Amino acid sequence: MSGLFERLDPRARLLIVLTVIVIVSSTPRGVLLPFAMFVPLSWLLMMFSRASGFYVLWRCLAASPFILLAAGLLAVQSGFDQASVLAHWPAAASVALKGYTAAWLLAFLTATTPLSELLWALKKMKAPESLNVILCMMHRYTSLLSEEYARQERARDSRTVRPLGRRRFGVYGRQLGTLVIRSWDRAERVHAAMLSRGFHGSWPEMQPHRLRGYDFAFGGLIAALFLLARWIPF
């Protein structure tokens, strides 16, 4: 990573993204004009990095069902008639835009900052150690579950001569149960291996970083631009 954003201290990157999300979220419900600047500024922030646009868009697409559901429920909160929906559509649109902006920024953060650096930043910012352990284990076991499921898929395909038809639901159910049992057993083996190697609940320190004037200047500039976009339309 050689982008401008990636050169920042991990704590600065985390604080910048969280600050921007708070500024965007503070926009009153139903007010859409600031987003005409929020969206270009989010793209501009991405231009200072080497994050993949496809990666960020894919993560936003994955969050779409939840964002659109929240916006849709808000639009029909007073009924399904046309007048009620039209009366609430600005509020629903603002909720959707806030959700997509937050999803975009969080995906951008994960695309530019490895998990080890994020955990280090959280630790230095005095986040609970248990939170760090949970996040790291969730990240690790997500990949383990994916690998185990892929192995089961290959084994099932290699043993299936004819189409499953109506039997597919029973097969999928047994496959899910097997996945849970295997994952539980593997988790116990991984935990025992970690204990045998001296794991005591905290992760080893990574290469230390140091906050510089560049970090404060870049973070202050980004926050000022988003604050300007937040207040100028009024």
- Residue 47 CB: number of other CB atoms within 10 A? 10
Report pLDDT digits (tens) over 178-193.
888 887 888 788 878 8
List the chain domain ranges: 5-113+208-231, 128-196
Of the two residues 53 and 38, the one the predictor is more confident about is 38
**Residue 18 pLDDT exceeds 80:** yes
In the predicted structure, residue 90 carries a pLDDT above the cut 90: no
pLDDT of residue 156: 76
Share of the chain above pLDDT 90, in %: 16
Indicate whether 126 pLDDT > 70.
yes
Closest CA to 51 of 1, 125, 115: 1
pTM of the entire predicted model: 0.78
Task: Say yes or no to pLDDT of 26 above 60.
Answer: yes
Residues, the chain, total?
A: 234
Asked whether the predicted pLDDT for residue 2 surpasses 60, the reply is: no
Distance CA 77, CA 82 (A): 12
Q: What is the pLDDT of residue 81?
A: 67
Rounded to an integer, what distance in angstroms lies between the CA atom of residue 24 and that of residue 182?
Answer: 43
pLDDT for res 197 = 81
How many of the other CB atoms lie within 10 Å of CB of 57?
12
Mean pLDDT, range 7-12, rounded to an integer:
88
Query: Residue range 95-110: average pLDDT?
Result: 92
Contact 171, 164 (CB under 8 A): yes
* pLDDT number for residue 19: 93
Residue with tokens 């646009």: 53
140 contact partners, CB below 8 Å, separation of at least 6 = none
pLDDT for residue 163: 65
pLDDT score, position 17: 94
H helix or E strand, kind and range, residue 99: helix 82-112
Contact (Cβ atoms closer than 8 angstroms) between residue 14 and residue 118: yes
**Which is more confident, 232 or 111?**
111
pLDDT of residue 13: 92
Q: Is residue 172 pLDDT above 80, yes or no?
A: no
